[in-house]
Amino acid sequence: MRQEVVQEGRSKTPDAAAEREIYRVKAGNRRVTPSEEESEVSSRRVEKRLPSGDVYMGSFSGNAPSGSGKYLWRDGCMYEGEWKKGKACGKGKFSWPSGATYEGEFKSGRMEGFGTFTGSEGETYCGSWSSDRKQGYGQKRYANGDFYEGLWKRNVQDVYKRQYIYIYIN
């Protein structure tokens, strides 16, 4: 949580003392304030090369990515977005070396919630995800122009529910 202060038409980020004040939370009669050490660690941005050859650039909390950051895997995959306790969490974008991308919500390092996948051949799926799988309502446009709108269950079209639109284009 960051606060921006606007002075004379310019945006300024608060200094460390003001930032600690921003994090101060009133809980009943108690005040909970992160220690100075925690505040400094949570706001630091780094570029870290890992022994595996992977690279992380972004915010750290303790020894784990937290806040916003970008992770590049040695194999060419990349995630850029929000992190929590070392895992992709919140909004972000994942891309594969093939050119395929997923942009949407993540939870505990998995595609979870609403998002859009665009495949390397041009096919797209826009809809609900659960544990990296299409789950619930979604729309898929295939590279050949075919279109499916309806329910998905464990990454498969759930045509047995009969709540779908399927269009073949010749």
pTM of the model: 0.69
Write down the pLDDT at residue 61.
86
| Look-up of token digits 């799926």 | 125
Cβ(58)–Cβ(46) under 8 Å? Answer: yes
Average pLDDT over residues 29-54: 57
Split at pLDDT 50, 70, 90, the class of 161 is low
Write down the pLDDT at residue 170.
55
Could you tell me which of 72, 30, 84, 20 has the C-alpha nearest to residue 47?
A: 72
Write down the pLDDT at residue 165.
55
Cβ(145)–Cβ(122) under 8 Å? Answer: no
pLDDT in tens, 123-160: 999 999 999 999 999 999 999 999 999 999 999 988 77
Q: Enumerate the β-bridge partners of residue 113.
A: 129
| Look-up of token digits 């009943």 | 28
pLDDT at 38 over 80: no
Give me the domains of the chain, ranges plus CATH numbers.
1-43 (no CATH), 46-167 (2.20.110.10)
Percent of the chain with pLDDT over 90: 59
Cβ(160)–Cβ(153) under 8 Å? Answer: no
* E runs forming strands in 34-86: 45-49, 55-61, 64-72, 78-84
Q: What is the DSSP letter of 17?
A: H
| Look-up of token digits 């974008």 | 93
Percent of the chain with pLDDT over 70: 69
Q: Which of 15-24, 74-83, 96-105, 142-151 has the lowest mean pLDDT?
A: 15-24
| Look-up of token digits 């460390």 | 16
pLDDT at 4 over 80: no
Could you tell me which of 54, 52, 78, 56 has the C-alpha nearest to residue 67?
A: 56
Write down the pLDDT at residue 24.
29
Split at pLDDT 50, 70, 90, the class of 166 is low
Query: For residue 27, which amino acid is it?
Result: A
Write down the pLDDT at residue 159.
74
Q: Which has more confidence, 137 or 46?
A: 137
